[in-house]
Amino acid sequence: MSGLAAGIRLAHFGKRVCIFERHNAVGGLNGFYSIAGRKYDVGLHAMTNFVRAGVKGTPLGKLLRQLRIDRDEFALCEQKRSRIAFGPRGETSLAFTNEFAIFESEIAAKFPAQIDGFRRLLAVVKSFDEVSLDAKPVSARQVVRQHISDPLLEDMLFCPLMYYGSAQEHDMEFGQFVIMFKALFLEGFARPLDGVRVILRVLVEKYRATGGARRMKCGVKRIVAREGRAAALVLDDGSEVTADHVISSVGGPETEQLMQVEPVVPNGLSAKIGRLSYVETITVLNRQPAELGWGDDTIIFFNDSPRFAYERPDAQVDLRSGVICLPNNFAYPEGQRLPEGLFRCTCLANYDRWAQLPEAVYQADKKRWYDAITAGAQRFLPVLPKADALQTATVATDMFTPRTITRFTGHLAGAIYGSPIKNRQGRTELANVYLCGTDQGFLGIVGAMLSGISMANYHVLNGK
Amino acid sequence: MTNDEIKKVVIDIISDIAPDEDTSNLKPDVRLREQMQLDSMDFLDIVMELRKRYGIEVPEAEYIKLATLDSCAEYLGPKFAALGK
């Protein structure tokens, strides 16, 4: 997605652009796929950064302008309501919507002693320049603790922000925290009825209209370095292409691997490879989740333990915390709804514990964890009238693991949010190779597109 | 090109870059940034659209000369004239 955005910018201003994609479909981590005639979004729960028409100076508005996209083309529908639920059965709950005042009043009601501190933190967040390309890294935990003294509220603020974009365990860089805080709380959630493919279709059409070329099922195998520059790209089919500039959206460590002439020793890169990966279960229902008895919450971030641990688990999966998404619960236009119910649960997972399993064991483990994850997540949803209500409503299921992520996206260690070390300027060891996408450090779908735009502007278009 | 034609060129570009801004009643002597929400990315796009559409180059040090519609006309007039327009 970041690559498409970069391509649109460059092609619009007359550069000759070609995008190489190893997969047979566009989108990468924000793609979609079909099984048995059903279309599934890869990872999208919701597009963050949603603001209504007329709200200016936010990331969504910037990307629409930069890509010359009319906001109606994305056909975004807003979330109904989401919540952060902490405690063994989610006893402490903070609701939030696309109206920030709701969240603020929830905090004032549930944490009256913290509301002044929260408002001070809010002022710091609002005045922070999070898109600066050369900001110094600061611990977000430290900054937040200057204003919030209750660890429960601190963890409840961090949980959604980490789950929706942090590649770092335990803490975030404050700039990343600000990006996510604005994206989730001050802006909000929305999605097109038909999911991420609507957004991808707009981008692909725009890219084609500006004259950009695409080669699908044709990955880049190697970047040939000569005198500190990329001299050529070797493609999967063995052919070579040359270019003045190369923008890589495969990730930071992954790009470094491509630039090596000798086979790489994985250990040399290990500090840069993300440790966080995820499993996600997808349950397709024969009715809307609300008809099942689950209400109309859109997204629920949960944690059952005294402290929230955002870290690679020792076990295959960490059931203590996670995210539930009910994509049916967006405010779609009158008379429109998703034809089937969808229930998605995401939990933290350990890549190493999934990567090397023999196929039969892998399939059995998936089945076992599917049951455990969906059961665990239901602790944070209204209790269903009958014990087998979910089972009888289920018409299909799917699940991705860290292994699935690496297989289809090439991201090392199944690290959806990439490397914990972000590279804001997108520079690499080669003077004409630049990074865009998650490892450049803008997060989420809107962040991915802005990353491609910024890198195309900064390295290729500016003043040249 | 007359000054009014040059102003129209600039307004057309702004309308394409920022269709959510109202460009119908812009005051020619007031800074564009004060009348609309345009950031540095938008100004860069005005410069690049001038290059793309008319082959006109605006060096970074001279971006300031695009501050108002009047200053645009004054600054771009000779550039259009040099191109025979």
What are A102-131's pLDDT values in tens digits? Answer: 999 999 999 999 999 999 999 999 999 877
Q: Do B41 and A457 touch (CB under 8 A)?
A: yes
Looking at per-residue pLDDT, the higher value among A156 and A260 belongs to: A156
Q: Do B16 and A68 touch (CB under 8 A)?
A: yes
Which pLDDT score, from 0 to 100, does residue A130 have? Answer: 76
Count of domains observed in chain B? 1
Which pLDDT score, from 0 to 100, does residue A30 have? Answer: 87
Domain that holds residue B72: 3-19+31-82
Q: Where are the domains of chain A?
A: 2-44+195-271+417-461, 94-187
Q: Do B41 and A70 touch (CB under 8 A)?
A: no
pLDDT over 90 (residue A462): no
pLDDT over 70 (residue A133): no
Confirm whether B58 is domain-assigned: yes
CATH number at residue B55: 1.10.1200
In contact, A41 and A195? CB cutoff 8 Å: yes
Of A58-67, A109-118, A327-336, A402-411, which range is least confident?
A402-411
> For chain A, first and last CA: distance in Å?
25
Query: Is CATH 3.50.50.60 the right assignment for the domain spanning A2-44+195-271+417-461?
Result: yes
Which pLDDT score, from 0 to 100, does residue A135 have? Answer: 73
Phi, psi for residue A284 in degrees, rounded to 5: -95, 130
Q: Average pLDDT, stretch A44-72?
A: 93
Going by pLDDT thresholds of 50, 70 and 90, the confidence category of residue A298 is very high
pLDDT over 80 (residue A64): yes
pLDDT over 80 (residue A270): no
pLDDT over 80 (residue A261): no
Burial class of residue A283 (count of CB atoms within 10 Å of its CB; 0-12, 13-18, 19+): buried
Which pLDDT score, from 0 to 100, does residue A237 have? Answer: 95
pLDDT over 60 (residue A92): yes
Task: For residue A56, give how far its alpha carbon lies from the nearest alpha carbon of chain B (Å).
Answer: 7
Of A77-86, A324-333, A414-423, which range is least confident?
A414-423
Which pLDDT score, from 0 to 100, does residue A455 have? Answer: 96
Beta bridge partners of residue A235, listed in sequence order:
A220
Give pLDDT tens digits for A5-21.
Answer: 999 999 999 999 999 99
Going by pLDDT thresholds of 50, 70 and 90, the confidence category of residue A264 is low
pLDDT over 80 (residue A438): yes
pLDDT over 90 (residue A166): yes
Q: Average pLDDT, stretch A33-55?
A: 91
Test the A interface: residue of B17, B20, B63 with most A CBs within 10 Å: B20
pLDDT over 70 (residue B8): yes
Which pLDDT score, from 0 to 100, does residue A444 have? Answer: 85
Task: For residue B32, give how far its alpha carbon lies from the nearest alpha carbon of chain A (Å).
Answer: 15
* Residue B25 CA: distances (Å) to CA of A358, B12, B30, B68, B70: 69, 13, 11, 13, 14
B16/A66 Cα distance (integer angstroms) = 10
In contact, A345 and A373? CB cutoff 8 Å: yes
Which pLDDT score, from 0 to 100, does residue A408 have? Answer: 86
pLDDT over 60 (residue A345): yes
Which pLDDT score, from 0 to 100, does residue A267 have? Answer: 55
Beta strands A213-215 and A433-435 are: unpaired
* Residue type at position A114: Q
Residues of B in contact with A462 (CB under 8 A): 44
Confirm whether B10 is domain-assigned: yes
**Percent of the residues in chain A that have a pLDDT greater than 90, as a whole number:** 86
Which pLDDT score, from 0 to 100, does residue A248 have? Answer: 97
Q: Do A56 and B44 touch (CB under 8 A)?
A: no
In contact, B48 and B66? CB cutoff 8 Å: no
Task: For residue A441, give how far its alpha carbon lies from the nearest alpha carbon of chain B (Å).
Answer: 19
Which pLDDT score, from 0 to 100, does residue A378 have? Answer: 97
Task: For residue A65, give how far its alpha carbon lies from the nearest alpha carbon of chain B (Å).
Answer: 6
